[in-house]
A = this chain, B = another copy of it.
Amino acid sequence: MGSDKAKGHLDVLLLQVLKDGPAHGYSVASALRQRSGGMFDLPEGTIYPALHRLEEARYLESDWELVNGRRRKIYRLTNSGTAALVKERNRWAEFVAAVESVLTPVTPRPA
Chain A interface residue count, Cβ-Cβ cutoff 8 angstroms: 28
Interface string of A70-86 (1 = CB under 8 A from B): 00000000000000000
Measured between C-beta atoms, what is the minimum distance from A46 to chain B in Å?
14
Count of this chain's copies in the oligomeric assembly: 2
Query: Which residues of chain A from 1 to 47 have any CB-CB distance to chain B below 8 Å in the complex?
Result: 4, 7-9, 12-13, 16-17, 19-20, 32, 35-37, 39-40
Residue A94 at the B interface, CB < 8 A? yes
* Contact present for B35 and A99 (CB under 8 Å): no
Determine the distance from Cα of A9 to Cα of B9 in the docked complex, in whole angstroms. Answer: 12
CB-based contact A103/B92 at 8 Å? yes
* In the complex, A96 has a CB within 8 A of chain B: yes
User: Which residues of A does B touch, CB under 8 Å?
Assistant: 4, 7-9, 12-13, 16-17, 19-20, 32, 35-37, 39-40, 89, 92, 94-96, 98-99, 101-103, 105-106
